[in-house]
Amino acid sequence: MRPLTSLLVTLGLCVHALASPPPALAVKGLFWKATKGAKTLYLVGSVHVGDPKLYPLPADIEHSFSRSAALVVESYSPKDSPEAVDAFMDEHGVYPAGDSIFKHLKPGPEDRLRAFAGKNNIDATNLSTLKPWVVMMVTGFWPMINGGKSPDVPGIDDYFIGKAKGGKPIVGVETTEFQLNLLASIPEDLQIAMLSDALMGPSGQQESLQDAWVAGDAMKIERNSTDSFRKYPLVRQRLLDDRNVRMVSVALSTLQTKDPVFMVVGAAHMFGPDGIVSLLRHKGFQVSAIHPK
């Protein structure tokens, strides 16, 4: 799921863009090659939140992209606009007048949310009218940005979208509205339970995932995904498993010639018995991880 920097602006939260230090280690990333006969599909498991430490990407990944005929990404909807996001948020992301997130949280999670707001220099009233799914986005990504991570650095998928524009066809599996609606349509009791759990967890989860991606630590990212959805199988079904099937279908429909196709979707979609790697193997593809030197 791609976070929307514009969404934070929509919520009235100030974004500070500061530079991050250069990476201490060479980037490894998460990269697979799937082949079946003359067909080749390259797979990159993305982290959607950008940071300078993610770059430069390994030469193997860059070279595979350059020789691919098309780019398939999780979300690409060039007709989207900030106005459309605003309209969706007004309809699906805020409580009606008189209601508040604090009326739906138990005392412990409410206290933790207020503490989060204070720690991250957010006026709690800016959070009070937001539905739980929106608050989860804010609590997940805001600490990085407030801590000095520039929102102008692209995530892995946006990086390749930028490179492909004007040179390769870009095929989006989903639109921004579809993705936002996925979150908004989670039953509210589950939204509240997931937010309460997230508020009890350690901060810095997104940065930890970025570090795992840089190190090529697939096991850590897979474990994080498994742990996140362990209590919520319905949500995992909607946000991962069902979408994985669609992602594979779109990729294979794009892979109609002997020319390779390059696919970039969130890293969590790659793993597990219902993940993209397993689905491709069930369809007869030989899939191997590529570990850049």
Whether 270 is covered by a domain: the verdict is no
Whether 255 is covered by a domain: the verdict is yes
Whether 143 is covered by a domain: the verdict is yes
Whether 61 is covered by a domain: the verdict is no
Question: Of residues 17 and 146, which shows the higher confidence score?
Answer: 146
How does residue 154 score in pLDDT terms, banded at 50, 70 and 90? confident
Question: Of residues 15 and 117, which shows the higher confidence score?
Answer: 117
Q: What percent of the chain has pLDDT over 90?
A: 59
pLDDT score of 256 more than 70: yes
How does residue 245 score in pLDDT terms, banded at 50, 70 and 90? very high
pLDDT score of 235 more than 70: yes
How does residue 128 score in pLDDT terms, banded at 50, 70 and 90? very high
pLDDT score of 253 more than 70: yes
pLDDT at 119 (0 to 100): 86
Whether 249 is covered by a domain: the verdict is yes
3-state secondary structure 189-207: HHHHHHHHHHHHCCCCHHH
pLDDT digits (tens, 9 = 90+) for 56-91: 999 999 999 999 999 999 999 877 778 888 899 999
Name every residue whose Cβ is closer than 8 Å to that of residue 205 and which is 6 or more positions away in sequence: 140, 224
pLDDT digits (tens, 9 = 90+) for 258-277: 899 999 999 999 999 999 99
Q: How far apart are CA 203 and CA 28, in angstroms?
A: 24
Residue 37 burial class via C-beta count within 10 angstroms: exposed 0-12, middle 13-18, buried 19 and up: exposed
Name every residue whose Cβ is closer than 8 Å to that of residue 87 and which is 6 or more positions away in sequence: none
Angle at 133 between CA 46 and CA 126, to 5 degrees: 110
pLDDT score of 129 more than 90: yes
Tell me how many domains the chain contains.
1
Structure tokens at 115: 């503490």
Q: By residue range, what is the domain housing residue 130?
A: 5-26+79-259
Tell me the average pLDDT across 233-249.
95
The overall average pLDDT reported for the chain is 86
Whether 273 is covered by a domain: the verdict is no
What is the pTM (predicted TM-score) of this model?
0.86
**Longest CA–CA separation in the chain, Å:** 61
Question: Of residues 22 and 291, which shows the higher confidence score?
Answer: 291
Whether 241 is covered by a domain: the verdict is yes
pLDDT score of 4 more than 50: no
Whether 150 is covered by a domain: the verdict is yes
Residue 110 burial class via C-beta count within 10 angstroms: exposed 0-12, middle 13-18, buried 19 and up: middle
pLDDT digits (tens, 9 = 90+) for 163-201: 999 899 999 999 988 999 999 999 999 999 999 988 887
pLDDT at 47 (0 to 100): 87
pLDDT digits (tens, 9 = 90+) for 6-24: 444 334 333 333 334 444 4
Angle at 220 between CA 216 and CA 223, to 5 degrees: 140
Q: How far apart are CA 289 and CA 33, in angstroms?
A: 6
Closest CA to 30 of 157, 154, 153: 157
Tell me the average pLDDT across 224-239.
91
